[in-house]
Amino acid sequence: MKLAISWGDPAGIGPEVLLRALAAKPCEAVVVGDAARLKEAAERLRLPAPAEVLSPAEVEVPPELLFAGRTSAEGGRSAAAAVRVAADLVASGQAAALVTAPLNKESLALAGERHPGHTELLAEHFDAPGTRMMLQGGGLRVVLVTTHVALREVPRLLTVEGIRETCVSAAAGLRGLGIARPRLALAALNPHASDGGRFGNEETRLLKPAVAQARLAGVEVEGPFPADTLFAQAARPESRFDAVVALYHDQGLIPVKLASFGQATNVTLGLPIVRTSPDHGTAFDIVGQGKASPESFLVALDVARELARQRD
């Protein structure tokens, strides 16, 4: 089974972790990235270069950008182009799944990309508005209603329809993972689920109606539950929930990363292809120092293969 791997931002640890992962656990893969820079990275790290590299002109970067540890328009352009090319390899049947190395959101902005991350970029690329971000690890699966937005924007962006659709997408995605009857828990927005309206009304105005509508659509979902206790309960082996639907980025990702940082995997639900990624970013502060661990990337490779097999 061949995987397509996008090399991420060349100024970050993406090239390093993918090289270390492929050296630790060789697999059939095509890496989309600058072939000359990948060869240089392999030589500097004393690792084998990838056996197959696709190096279109739009991903090539100047030598000084490799492991530069800084934002740049060139890095953002290369990373975004690599994602699109690698995604098309999977969509055309030339690879079974996509695994993406980290990109940098500031670099994407400098390159003129209007989307802040992989999830949004791939959703537009495939015209897949039902795309949702799921992170799994440490006994938790968390699906997000909103992703890369300012915290102050979250209450405005929450709608009954958006929450309902996230529950529907989460259930469909979990069925694709082999869970026949997914059971979901919805996290509340406000402390103590607003304590009967003392701390806001989103629970009554938005979340409860969304749960009711999702149930009418055939989704087994409960809530909203206070977030400060929900994740600990959902992570237990005996939990009755298969996933938590969280309302914003840090609400969902902090518990997963606390429980399993370096072992968690990002899975994009709602795409026509399988896509996974490690649970970390470009880590400019440790780039090129031999400190970057490939563990999360290895997990992302394994999960991508397993999901691709389940789709066959």
- Topology agreement, domain 1-128+280-312 and domain 129-270: yes
Topology at the third CATH level for domain 1-128+280-312: Isopropylmalate Dehydrogenase (3.40.718)
| pLDDT value at residue 73 | 97
pTM: 0.89
Q: How many whole angstroms separate alpha carbon 214 and alpha carbon 108?
A: 35
Q: Nearest Cα to 299, choosing from 279, 282, 284, 281?
A: 279
Say if residue 201's pLDDT is above 80: yes
275-312: b or e for each residue (b if 16 or more CB lie within 10 Å)? bbbbbbbbbbeebbeeebbbbbbbbbbebbbebbeeee
* Domain at 129-270: CATH architecture: 3-Layer(aba) Sandwich (3.40)
* Domain map (residue ranges) of the chain: 1-128+280-312, 129-270
How many other CB atoms are found less than 10 A from the CB of residue 185?
Answer: 22
In order, the DSSP letters of 14-54 are: HHHHHHHHHHHS---EEEES-HHHHHHHHHHHT-PPPS-EE
Read off the pLDDT of residues 106-130 as tens digits, 9 standing for 90 and up.
999 999 998 888 989 999 999 998 8
> In angstroms, what CA-CA distances link 193 with 227, 232, 239, 294?
8, 16, 20, 38
| pLDDT value at residue 195 | 87
Q: Nearest Cα to 199, choosing from 209, 208, 189?
A: 189
Mean per-residue pLDDT over the chain, rounded? 94
> In angstroms, what CA-CA distances link 188 with 137, 160, 209, 223, 274?
21, 13, 13, 8, 29
Percentage of residues in the chain having pLDDT higher than 70: 100
Percentage of residues in the chain having pLDDT higher than 90: 82
